Chain A
Amino acid sequence: MEQPIILECRNVWKLYGAQADSFLQTHGMQPTPEALRRANIVSAVRNVDVTIRKGEIFVIMGLSGSGKSTLVRCLARLIDSTAGEIRFEGRDLLAMSGPELIALRRHKMGMVFQHFALLPHLTALENAAFPLEVQGIDRKTRLERAMQVMELVGLKGRENRYPHELSGGQQQRVGIARSLIVEPDLWFLDEPFSALDPLIRREMQDELLRLQARLHKTIVFITHDFDEAIRLADRIAVMRDGAIVQTATPEELVLNPADDYVAEFTQHIPRAKVVRLGTAAKPLGPGPFAGDLTASLRVAEAADRIEAADLPFRVLAADGAPMGQIDGRTVIDILIGREVAR
């Protein structure tokens, strides 16, 4: 069952340089990198197609300078793309007027920023309540709402601190609270944890997964950290030089990298943490079986049980139908990377 599409963009370009607009037209909307270089035009985003469905965590991953931040700003229309089509819930985002866009942001979108972007003159609570303040909602109501989101992000008791009195992790929790207060349908997170220490980063990733399990938002998550992308994503788009190289689930990405560039990232990722039983399973044998396991489980999650048993396990698809079997040998192959599954 496919979820409805929330955000969809086609052939999005963002060029910087003199006469960038007319340049695209004169080159038939498909300029070559050489032509761009000759015209001294920087292409931050090149011909990007993205489809984001309701309830998924869509990660855009790329190294610095790959254009991922520019792309997310185009998707949120913080900057106008040079060419292309962007639809939000079926409406043409690029055709929206200023007031329409403001209304959209007040009710349907939220964004978290890399360096938190908190207002220094407001307390944590007032920062979280800021989107409601600009909507003209009275102080009492908006602070009550803000208290609720502060509790949600685990900052109860620190509402009256100023941003500079909070640690980086706490500041980003305020940023998350602020972006959630309008109950957005679409939630942009622009490298939200990149400025944090590794331990805090991990903690915040868990926190994000916890929140998502509760709230079921549609998330566009930007990162330069492939491990983070693997941990969080339902689907990942890998960007390089402004273009998307591959869009796939973490599992597909690891098992079938589109090119050497993607493979470079995936080769250090432990397969067992990505590959699911459904993919690793061998054809169903006659049995007997040690038990049943669902196909969506990752190999690493089930490895102990499979290895401890003498018999293979049956692997069941989402609808309960048996689709194959898996034994300790297969698991060990995957764990030590002896042989690529499938």
Chain B
Amino acid sequence: MRRWRPADLLFWGGLALVTLVLSLASKQIGVATGWKWLTKFPKGWELHADRAISAAMKWLVEDAALGPLRFRDLTRLLSALVEAPYFVLRDFLIDGFQIGQGQQAVPVLPHVSWLVVVLGFGLLAHRAGGFRLAALVVASFLYLLLFGLWESAMVTLASVAIAVPLGVGLGILLGIAAFRFRWVDMALRPVLDLMQTVPVFAYLVPILFLFGFGAMSALVATIIYAMPPMVRITTLGLRGVPEEIVEAGRMSGCTPRQNLWKVRLPAARGMLMVGVNQVIMLTLNMVIIASMIGAGGLGYQVLTALRKLDVGAGVEAGFGIVILAVALDRLSQAIARRSPAVPAEGGWIARHPRSLALLAVLLVSYPLGALLPALNSFPESWQLSTGSFWQEVISWINLNLYDQIEAVKVFALTWVLVPVKLFLLGIPWVWGLVLAFAIPAKIGGWRLGLMGLAMASFIAASGLWPEAMITLYLCGVSVVIAMLIGVPLGVWAGQNAQANAVLTLVIDTLQTLPTFIYLIPVVMLFRVGDFSAMIAVVLYAVVPAVRYAAHGIRSIDSQLVEAGLVSGCTPRQLLWKVKLPLAMPSILLGLNQTIMLALSMLVITALVGTRDLGQEVYIALTKANVGKGVVAGLAVAFLAIMSDRIITAAVNRKRGEDHA
């Protein structure tokens, strides 16, 4: 374990002390000296980047042109290209094919029977992963049928089916470009950082301006959100191909192009499938937000339920998303793992029994569906609902546990949330800028310090300082609590296989649950406010804390543990003196992820009435104010990027010390 050097101790201690004093006394100092600007950023100094961005957006949409081709035409063309397959798929799955528009529409072919869809996915799952997977997939689709979510689910499925290949394809192409050309890599890095840290709400408005309300906007937003990991993983995967394999390709006489497409890319297949999996999960994560700008589907069900505070419907539709996500996730993983089988003997018919059977059922289902309506649309009388059950659970809790919950809430507010909030808000922004330079500079060098200073200055100059402080406070408290809960659980799971099995299930579920779902029960139990926001954030952000801690403990070289044992460590000493120090880099990475998730969840908790940057973004969204949304979104992104850089620098420094 590292000893504190006196100089470090002095630096951090002094910084904390000065900050505390300034925070407590800033009001008095401001009054005594008459320097109003000390506590409040002067209006006259504001940058008004938001207005410039709004104006630029307006110009882009209304006037921008490249020769005869106007920018707006370009986006419309793009929309048409992407929407065409989407609508064909939607017609096939749920809407039915029609000729003509609106009232004159003549139905040509009804939508496909639910039986065919279930059967199709079941057979695919069986081919990819055997009976167990097929059973899981069929059960998932049956859930959607039984709870009356079929139509919404099919709409969601159609958009996933378009967004995932697009996101994966674009991601791979960009990843290859970044791999081939250094300048692309350099240019893409900050863009990807922003794409992953700017809250989705911030770019919904510009997208709406460009593509209008509807499926296209939803698809674009989804792809922006889901693609970055694919780009990164592609570049990483291509770089990670063993040099020998590449040399084998060259010695086999590959041209550079062949070496990329036939050697590197297939050799990186495992990594690429991790990326595909990520894209699928993120796409489903976006389903609810996408429904705000016209995606419809399961997300829309959750959103309406949330607006009506209808717990039952919200939970059912939310689980629908989770179940769809889990089914597609397992399916894609099974397809990735399956080594391509040896082609069977015989003709085409003998080799494709499943495809043929499905085709036959498809053809038969259309005439049969006309005779049997139940085949066409799952009858309502067969459907279930647990809505009233959830409602009753909440009511019961509210009736019987109200005092206890209230006591916890008041305690947390009085002793934790409010003091931290006041402390952070009390720090004069000038000193805040000093801190924004000093802390990163101390940990990661003066360049990082300058970056922190620049980003903090941008936030201050946009007039968002108090909002940023509230974000920091909510995020900070939630992250600390999430780490306090998550790390011990992770350490436990890392050492105990049974605990690991249970916890993995729980955190997998927590992670696949769309962020919005957290809000429903939290609001029902704790009503709106900072405390509810904190609970929702902790629930969502605890996942990486657990996961990375468990991973860190598990990936310790067993020889080192054995070395500790033969040195006579008690289990307790083994944990504190061997395992935890070795797992520390991994735990810090978990902290990093926890902060990222907390920030992204915070924006969504704006819906339950916080007063932070997320609220600014959300207000901008409801007022369709491009500039304001983008600026507030950038502010959130800057907080995220800075915390990421600081932690990365700390991890690197720690590793450097360990090796030195």
Contact = CB atoms under 8 A, between A and B. Distances in A.
B75 to A, nearest CB: 38
Interface string A156-194: 000010100000000000010011001000001000000
A57 B152 CA distance: 70
Contacts of B340: 121
A111 B262 CA distance: 18
Contacts of B249: 134
A130 B251 CA distance: 11
Interface string A88-110: 00000000001000110111011
Given A115-B244, A119-B263, A121-B266, A134 B251 contact: no
A228 interface: no
A130 B248 CA distance: 10
Contacts, number: 73
Contact of A119 (B245, B247, B256): B245
A117 B243 CA distance: 9
Contacts of A106: 252-253
Interface of B is mostly: helix
Interface residues of B, number: 23
A219 B295 CA distance: 64
B269 A102 contact: no
Contact of B252 (A105, A120, A123): A105
A76 B270 CA distance: 30
B307 interface: no
Contact of B254 (A102, A110, A111, A121): A102
Contact of B251 (A103, A109, A116, A135): A109
Nearest to B270: A120
B269 A131 contact: no
Contacts of A98: 255-256
B251 to A, nearest CB: 4
A117 B248 contact: yes
Nearest to B263: A119
B263 A105 contact: no
A96 to B, nearest CB: 13
B253 A78 contact: no
Contact of A133 (B247, B255, B262): B262
Nearest to B251: A111
Of the listed residues A103, A114, A121, A131, the one surrounded by the most CB atoms of chain B closer than 10 A to its CB is A121
Nearest to B341: A160
B256 to A, nearest CB: 8
A115 B242 CA distance: 10
Interface of A: 73, 76, 78, 98, 102-103, 105-107, 109-111, 113-123, 130-131, 133-135, 160, 162, 175, 178-179, 182, 188
Q: Which 5 A-B pairs have the closest CB atoms?
A: A106-B253, A117-B248, A131-B252, A117-B244, A111-B251
Interface of B: 242, 244-245, 247-256, 258, 262-263, 266-267, 269-270, 339-340, 342
15 contacts: A78-B250, A102-B254, A107-B253, A110-B251, A111-B251, A114-B244, A117-B245, A120-B269, A120-B270, A133-B262, A134-B249, A135-B253, A160-B342, A162-B339, A178-B252
